[in-house]
Each structure stands twice: as C-alpha cells, then as structure tokens.
Amino acid sequence: MLQIADSIEVERPQDKLILRLRSILSGYMEAAQIDDIVRAYHFGAEAHLGQFRKSGEAYICHPIAVAICLAEMHMDAKGIMAAILHDVIEDTAISKKELAQLFSQEVAELVDGVTKLSKIDSKSRAEAQAENVRKMFLAMTKDLRVIMVKLADRLHNMQTLGSMPSVKKRRIARETLDIYAPIANRLGMNQIRHQLESLGFKALYPGRHAVLKNAVKKARGNRREIVEIIENSIKNRLQQSGIDSEVEGREKNLYSIYQKMLNKKISFADVFDVYAFRILCDQVDTCYRILGIVHNLYKPVPGRFKDYIALSKANGYQSLHTVLVGPYGVPIEIQIRTHEMHRMSESGIAAHWLYKSDSEKAQLAGARANEWLRELLEIHKSAGDSLEFIDNLKIDLFPQEVFIFTPQGGIIKLPRGATIVDFAYAVHTDIGNACVSARIDKQLVPLQTQLENGVTVEVITASWARPNPLWLNYVVTAKARSSIRAYLKHFKQQEAITLGHRLLEKELQAMNLQLDAIPTDRIAILLSVLGVHSLDALLEDIGLGNKMPFLVAKRLNQDDIYAAVKLDDNEKGVESPLIIKGTEGMVVTLAKCCRPIPGDSIIGFFNPGKGIVVHHHECRNSSEIRKKQTSWLDVEWSADTTGEFSADLRIELLNQRGTLATVASTISEMDSNIENVTVVDQDDRVSVDLITLTVKDRVHLANIMRRLKKLFIVLKITRVKA
Ligand code: MN
C-alpha cells in the first residue's frame, strides 16, 4: 500500500508554474538560455525552502509568477533569472557576491537593485520607504530591467494581497497607487498600470470599488443599444470612404472613473454617460483622414480636440483625441491611432523586448525612458534627503502638461500650473537663476504667472538677479524646485564661510595671530584632527555655530595641536565683542522674541546649523539660554548700521472709533511702517494692542514712542522685549 502512495506524484503548484514558464520561454528563447533559467529556479527553490507565502504556498511560487509576467513581455534571459532570484538577497542568507559567482554580475546587480535596504531602526517608516524607492531609482537609472522586475513583483503581490492584515494591505495599496502605477504610466506601460490601479483601488477602498463596479454593471446593460448604433454608423462611414480600420468600444476602468469623479467633482452618471471608442489603422496619414470623417459624421465639441500624434505626451503616448456630439446629444470620446502606436501605449518600454526587431518606436521609448531617468538623476543629486527626492518624484510622475513656445519657436513641455520660473529653469538653470520677469506674447508679466497652453514666453534676466526662497511657493517642476534649493543651500554656505572666517580671525587677533600667517601644514593637521575635509568646511562649521571659534583658535595656537583644549571660562574675558550689522543675511538672525534694534545692548548665541541668533540683553529667553549653554558671545552693533528693523510696542488705547487710525497715521508721519497689529485685550473702555513697526534704531523708536505718548487717546505704551 505504501508503495502505491509513494509512486503517486503529487503535483505541487510550483511544478505547474515552472512548466508554464518554460512553455512561454520556448516561444522566444534558445534551449541553453532556458537551461540557465531552470538552474536559477532550482537554486532559488533551495534557498527559499521552508519559507511560505501568506497563502500557504511554497515561497518560490511568487518569484516564478513574477518571471511568468516578464516572460509574457519577452524579457531576456538575465532579466528572467533576476526575477526568479529577486527575493533571495533580501529574504535568505545568500549574498550578492554568491549570485555574481553563480549567475553573473549582471544578474546579481539586477537582484540587488530590487532588494530593500536592511532596516534602519531610527528612521520613520516614511523615511525608510523613501530610502528604498530612492535606492531602486538609482539602480533603475543603470538598468531599466530593475523597474520591470519591481513592477512585476508588485503586480503579483497585489494579486495575492488577500491574506494580509488589512493595515498592511492598505499601506501597500497606497504605495502602489502613489508610486508604482505612476511609474508604469511614466514608462508608457499602460497594461500594467491599469492592473496596478484597479488592484490598488480595490484594496484601498473596497466599499467604493464595489459600489462603482455594480453601477457600471447596471449602466452597461442600458447602454448596449446606443453603443451598437454609434459603432455601426462609424464603421459604415469609414467603409464607404474605403478606409481599412478597426473600431472598438472602450470601457473606462473603475479607478479612472473614480479619479474623474473625485477631481472634477462630478457624478457617476456624468462620467459614465460618455461613450468611448477607439479606431485603429495602419498609417499615420489615415488617422487624420479618419478624424475628418468622424467630424463629418457627428459634430465635434469645440476645444476638445487634441493632437498627441504631433505633440506626444511625456511618456511617448501618441493618439488623436476628439469629443463628438452623438445621437440624442450623448457625448462620444474617440481615440484614433495606428496599430503600432496602440502597441506602444499598451506596453511602453516593454515594447523594446516585445517587438525587438521591427520597431523604431520601441527604440525611441527606451531612449525616452533613459532621458527621463537622467533628469531624475540630476534631481536626485541636488535633493537633500530621500523624502525631498520622493516629493520631487511625485511632482514629476503626474504630468498633465502644457506646451510653451520659446521666442525661437522651440517647444517646451511643462506640467499644468507651471509658472515663468519653471519655464526659465526648463530652458536653462542659469536662466532660471537670473530671471526677473518675462513677456508672454509681448506683454510684461510677473514671475508667478501660470502658463497657458501655446503661449510664447520670453524670459527677462538680469546679471544681479538671484533665486528667491519665495519662488518655492509657486514653482511646480522638480527641476526648478531642486535648482532653487541647491542655489540657496550654496548661498547660505558662502555666507557661513564668510562669517566663520570673521569669527576665527577675531579670536586669532586676540592671540596676536592671523589666519594667513599660520603655516598650511599646521592647518592641515588641525583639519585631520577635527575630521573636517577642508578649511572652507571648517569655516562653514564655525559660521553655523557647530564649532566654537575660540576653541579652534586656541588649538591652532597651542604647541601640541593634538592635545584636547581645556576650556577655561576666565580666559574668555579678554576677548573683544563681535561687530554685527544685523543685515548679514541668513547666518545672523535677530531673535523674534525680543526684536533687538541698533542701539540696544545685545548678546549672541550659537545655534548649531543656524548660525548666530542675536537677543536683547534683557530678553528673558536670553538669560534662560545663557544659564544652559556656554556657546554665547559678546556682540555689538556696528556704528554704520543702516536698514529697517522690527520692534514690538504694547499700547493701551481708549476704545473709541478711529483711535487705531490716529495711532497709525502718527507712526507713518514719523517715517515708520506698521508690519502687524494684534488686539490682545479689549473691553468697553480700553483696548490693548500689540503693534510691530519698523524703525532705524533705538533713537528713532524713542522718538516715535514720545510722539505717541502725547496723544490723549494713548493711556500707556511700552516696548516688548520677550
Ligand atoms: Mn517579491
């Protein structure tokens, strides 16, 4: 009996899957390559032995399913091997090196590209997720197959979400809709994108998905008759004109219906009451002829025609779109394209493998994807951290573009909502950095103007112009955003270096030294002791308050440069104060709590990473900080300080009509501006207001206060210092 049981081969799910994979591969691959893939399968199965998917199947079933998905796109042998081995580094003890030895460096790199970073505990989940996506992008810029494996992996994970806990399910679904489906879209892989979207939508909003699905099912029945009428009349008309083409009805997927309802705030009926058709033909010319014919059959809706053949979308999508008014006034959406354009719109960069030999367009898709990746790489270089990179990526992934002309007739594609600044940066980083205004169709316009489709923009630059942090409030392209940030970062760095230089020089002077007179090898030793890579970096550190200038100077001065410096508070007494103007920029800031103005006695605090913050000597916060830390320094106003400084006044007024206006006009007569007024307290008789105004210095402020005191409506007036 036992023997009989033994001889019955129980077919395991992985056996079935590998059989299917082999049969697909044999359609386009040589036997030797298939043997390599089978070897990878045996290795992977061994490595994952004892691991199971949440569904209970052996783990190896998942990588084979991923490989099958890619084989259907005719992925090459190395790509298929990477798909089979894609979870080996992450989930088993096998290393990248071993994979390289056994299956080639190429396969090892591909697998490494889809492997998550080992967990870093201190980071938030958002940061960790961002780090992983960023890593994958870097790998993808080297080899596009990385993203193909990753998308196929994500697709299979979405298909098998069923047995996951619901929190995890939702997180994966959200990431799929936010990152992976848009990437598939950006690479023109519409088939995968639609699958990811509908699976993501179902997992994230099961209720809404069910309601919409039901509604579509119901509506479909009611529509059948009219769909047939329209389809037949289009077909007949095309036939009469002797055009060889295919007409097919097109149904929107649930997620795009949902998106439309959400974005345009319209009802299901309004979205779904559109009848959509696609017409496929062989030649580009024929597309335009078909357009003429359908416009003749039904009246087109003005303003809805789009020629994505002449101006393709950023992901390479090509088609003619038009909307017609059909029988009974129903709207009809028509897409017209060639078969080749259609294949490209379904598989995007995957077409590169699928239609290898015959297609120039497929090559173009690969080139376009690479160009996009190069841009991303540039953005990646100037982005500060992973979260910033992901933000930029998301902006980049949802293109809804406008076409703008340069004065020379060039066309620049920008996302909807882009401004002059975005356009300037798209032309060239230097132009962006120096732009001051622009002319749209000869009219002068400000920088924040949003661009309309088809306008001609001439950017006006000036040699003195610099990027402004405020631009970040309205630019929408990743390129502009990251260039502005990079510039400001660099600018702040320059300021910090200058300040650091001044601070160090001041300390050295107290020791009768000069930075220039110190031998360079001595400085080099100090840099290596402190672990700083250059003098500028050290000066920047000092300027930002990360290092005390006094300690650095002392170290340069003492005989044994390696010995740690002991800080003796008494020695600090001899130093002279640092002279400031208050207009140094980002590295010297005046505290908001006490708002010091020229003439006030002041004190400075090092704030690591921010530079020096200057407080009023009497400021309550300053005495608090002084108690806690020793990194404060004497500062004094420079005698030739000019400019406008803010001060706060607390003022008690009779609560009558017009009193505040009287105060305001008195202040403005005194050559000062009111920046802000807050009513702190109010009753029938008295109103207590807090006024922020601009003054030149302490004398100016005193004069203003004296004038205000003379007004009979002013009961009491004091300056606020924290
Ligand atoms: Mn996987």
Q: What percent of the chain has pLDDT over 90?
A: 30
| Rounded average pLDDT over 306-334 | 87
Contacts of 620 (CB under 8 A, 6+ apart): 593, 721, 722
Name the 3-class secondary structure at 648: strand
**pLDDT band at 3, cuts 50/70/90?**
very low
Which residue has better confidence, 432 or 593? 432
CA of 390 to the centre of ligand 1 (A): 22
656 SS3 class: coil
Residue 461: beta bridge partners? 435
Backbone dihedral angles phi then psi of residue 295, each to the nearest 5 degrees: -70, -25
What is the whole-number distance in angstroms between the Cα of residue 74 and the centre of ligand 1? 20
Q: What is the pLDDT of residues 221-278, one digit of tens each?
A: 778 888 899 999 999 999 999 999 999 988 778 888 888 887 777 788 777 777 899 9
| 144 CA distance to ligand 1 middle (Å) | 17
> What does each C-alpha distance from 618 to 444, 593, 598, 623, 698 come to in angstroms?
50, 11, 14, 8, 15
Predicted local confidence at residue 563, as pLDDT:
53
Confidence of residue 569 (pLDDT cuts 50, 70, 90): very low
- Can you give the pLDDT at residue 117? 67
What does the mean pLDDT of the chain come to?
Answer: 83
Residue 44 phi, psi dihedral angles, 5° rounding: -65, -40
What's the rounded Cα separation, in Å, for the pair 143 and 109?
9
- Hey, what CATH topology would domain 645-720 get? Alpha-Beta Plaits (3.30.70)
- Residue 398, sorted as left (phi over 0), alpha (psi -120 to 50) or beta, turns out to be beta
Pairing of strands 246-250, 275-281: antiparallel
Residue with tokens 């190429």: 106
**pLDDT tens digits, 187-224:** 888 889 999 999 999 999 999 999 888 888 888 777 88
Residue 488 in this model has a pLDDT that exceeds 80 = yes
Q: How far is the CA of 120 from the centre of ligand 1 (A)?
A: 20
Give the 3-state secondary structure of residue 355: coil
pLDDT (0 to 100) of residue 542: 85
Question: Closest Cα to residue 55, out of 198, 157, 197?
Answer: 157
Please count the other Cβ atoms lying within 10 Å of the Cβ belonging to residue 42.
12
95 alpha carbon, distance to own chain's centre? 32
Q: What percent of the chain has pLDDT over 70?
A: 87
The three-class DSSP label of residue 4 is helix
Instruction: Kindly give the distance from the C-alpha atom of residue 45 to the centroid of ligand 1, in angstroms, as a whole number.
Output: 14
Average pLDDT over residues 643-656: 88
CA of 152 to the centre of ligand 1 (A): 9
Helix, strand, or coil (residue 559)? coil
Cα-to-centroid distance, 327 and ligand 1 (Å): 50
Say which DSSP state 456 is in.
B
Over residues 361-388, mean pLDDT: 70
pLDDT at residue 33, as a whole number: 92
Of the candidate CATH numbers 1.10.3210.10, 1.10.275.10, 2.60.40.2300, 1.10.10.200, the domain formed by 9-204 belongs to 1.10.3210.10
| Range list of β-strands (E), 516-560 | none
Q: How far does residue 60's CA lie from ligand 1's centre (Å)?
A: 10
Q: pTM of the predicted model, to two decimals?
A: 0.58
Give residue 386's pLDDT.
67
- Ligand 1: centre distance to CA 121 (Å): 22
DSSP character at residue 29: S
- Domain boundary assignment for the chain: 9-204, 207-354, 491-637, 645-720
Ligand 1 centroid – CA 84 distance (Å): 9
Largest CA distance in the chain: 115
In whole angstroms, what is the distance from residue 610 CA to residue 606 CA? 8
CB 330 within 8 A of CB 316: no
Cα separation, 384 vs 127, in Å, equals 13
DSSP β-ladder status, 578-580 and 632-637: parallel
Cβ contact 180:151 at 8 Å: yes
- Backbone dihedral region for residue 276 (phi beyond 0: left; psi -120 to 50: alpha; all else: beta): beta
pLDDT at 361 over 70: no
Cα→Cα distances 521→356, 370, 482, 524, 534, Å: 61, 46, 38, 5, 12
> How many Å from the N-terminal Cα to the C-terminal Cα in the chain?
93
- Report the range out of 382-386, 398-402, 463-467 with the highest average pLDDT: 463-467
153 tagged catalytic: no
Extended beta strands in 528-601, E state:
578-580, 588-590
Where does the pLDDT of residue 614 fall: very low under 50, low under 70, confident under 90, or very high at 90 and above?
confident
| Catalytic status, residue 340 | no
SS3 assignment, position 419: strand
User: Which pLDDT band, with edges at 50, 70 and 90, does 26 fall under?
Assistant: very high
**Active-site position among 76, 91, 127, 697:** 91
Q: Which residue(s) pair with 300 in the sheet?
A: 324
d(CA 522, CA 513): 13
pLDDT tens, residue by residue, 108-163 = 999 998 887 665 555 566 777 777 777 777 777 778 888 889 999 999 999 998 87
Question: Residue 109 has what pLDDT?
Answer: 92
Residue pLDDT, tens place only, 504-559? 888 888 788 888 888 888 888 888 888 888 999 999 888 877 777 877 887 787 76
Which backbone phi and psi does 694 adopt, to 5 degrees? -100, 135
Q: How far is the CA of 150 from the centre of ligand 1 (A)?
A: 8
- What is the CA(62)–ligand 1 centre distance, in A? 7
> Residue 186 pLDDT > 90, yes or no?
no
At 430, the pLDDT band (50, 70, 90 cuts) reads: very high
The crossing angle, in degrees rounded to 10, of helices 254-264 and 206-240 is: 100
From the list 90, 106, 536, 618, the catalytic residue is 90
Report the amino acid identity of residue 626.
R
- pLDDT at position 574 is 45
Q: Is 413 helix (H, G, I), strand (E, B) or coil?
A: strand
Angle at 521 between CA 515 and CA 523, to 5 degrees: 40
What's the CATH fold of domain 207-354?
Beta Polymerase; domain 2 (3.30.460)
Q: Determine contact, residues 483/428, Cβ cutoff 8 Å.
A: no
Is residue 301 over pLDDT 70? yes
How close is the Cα of 24 to the center of ligand 1, in Å? 21
Residue 358: its pLDDT value, please?
A: 56
pLDDT of residue 4: 46
Residues 529, 554 contacting (CB under 8 angstroms): no
Same fold, 9-204 and 645-720: no
CA atoms within 13 A on the CB side of 311: 16
Residues 466/494, Cβ–Cβ less than 8 Å = no
Per-residue confidence (pLDDT) for residue 527, from 0 to 100: 87
Angstrom distance (rounded) from CA 208 to CA 355: 38
pLDDT over threshold 70, residue 562: no
Structure confidence at residue 570 as a pLDDT band (50, 70, 90) = very low
